[in-house]
Structure formats: structure tokens, C-alpha cells
Amino acid sequence: TVVTKSDTSPVTVADFAVQAMVLHDLHRAWPDDSFIAEEDSSELWTNPNLARDVQRYSQLPSLEQVMHSIDLGQHYKEWYRSEDDDKHDADDAATETQRKPQQEERPPRVWCLDPIDGTRGFLRGGQYCVALALLEGNGGVPTVGILACPNLPMDSSSNNNFDNNFWDDMESDNHSQRGCLFVASQGGGCYQLPLFVKDNEPLDSWR
């Protein structure tokens, strides 16, 4: 299922389902953290078939949990204010008592998620990724970055021939192991790991 947003960009069941799954698990692990993510649940409220598909693929037990988890990605609106917001309030004294917290009051930890970065690539069975980052402190310093690339061959990084056919060649390569996870942390280095491993295969062997 594909729907079109107001900016004409496509959004799929996978966008909603991935956002629901990731934010649900992050919120369960760190309930005091805040989140920024692309989607909200408004489309699901008006499209019951889409909502059912999202729940099925997200594997969350109830539609209420799906909606709540997706909307966690909109909580930044409670603490972030743009300059346009401030100018609007300054022009309308009646709303002055309803001002939201200023940007400097951002939570100390904010997760930023793009559930499907490259939706058109995803739709054609090509390259896309799930992109996640953790920002910490008042300045929003990136301390963790994760890219999950399900269709990227593990050995693609060893290919230095980045010509015009590079991505086409990778997408037509049916022999290499596919699925990469790139993980970086402040002071902890950067690693490429397989996204799919056997049950008895330790990840440390790939570091």
C-alpha cells in the first residue's frame, strides 16, 4: 500500500510499520528520551485497511500501540519552536500565555529516525535504509548513528569502481550476501556488520 503525502512524496506500509516498531522498542528501553520521526498516525485513522496492514507488519499487539508508537515521533513539537512560531506569538498577545517551551529546553537525549530513507528505491526493490541517530546535550551532539541497509551486499564497500552503473550492478547482484548494518558511536569507532546472521553466529566475529 502506498499513499501520497502533501509534498507528493510516497509513504508506504513499511514507513509506518518500521517507525512503530523502532520507536516502540526505544521508548520501552529509554522512556525518558524524546523522538523525531517522519510519520504521524493521521493517515491511519482515515484508512482502516492501511492501519490493519501496519499493525500486522509491525507485529505490535494492538492498533492503539501502533498509533501511540508512531506518534512518539511527533513529541518534538512539544519542545521545539521555530523562529516563525515565535514571531507568530509575538504578533498575537492572546496566545502569549500558551507558549510552548523554548528550543533550549530540548530533552537531553533525542532519537532521530527516518523509517525508510529512499522510499522510491524500496518500492522498486532497490537500495534504501533505515536511518537512526541519537543526539545528546543542549547542542544536540550526534553520539550514535545507525544505518540498516537490507539490500546492500556485504562486500560492496570493497568495490572502488563507483561508475554510473555501480548501483545498478549491485541491485542485480544475486550472489553476494545482502544486508548491512553500519554502526558508529562517539569515541567507539564505526563498524559494518551483517544485518542477517545465523542463530549461532556471534556478531563479534564480524568486527
Which residues are CB-contacts of 193 (< 8 A; sequence separation ≥ 6)?
A: 180, 181, 182, 183, 203, 206, 207
Cα dihedral 167→173→176→182 (10° resolution): 20
C-alpha cell at 150: 537490507
Catalytic residue among 53, 71, 114, 119: 119
Catalytic residue among 15, 33, 114, 117: 15
Whether 12 is catalytic is no
In the numeric block, the cell 555501480 is attached to 166
C-alpha cell at 36: 523525531
Which residues are CB-contacts of 173 (< 8 A; sequence separation ≥ 6)?
A: 153
- Catalytic residues, by residue number, are 15, 119
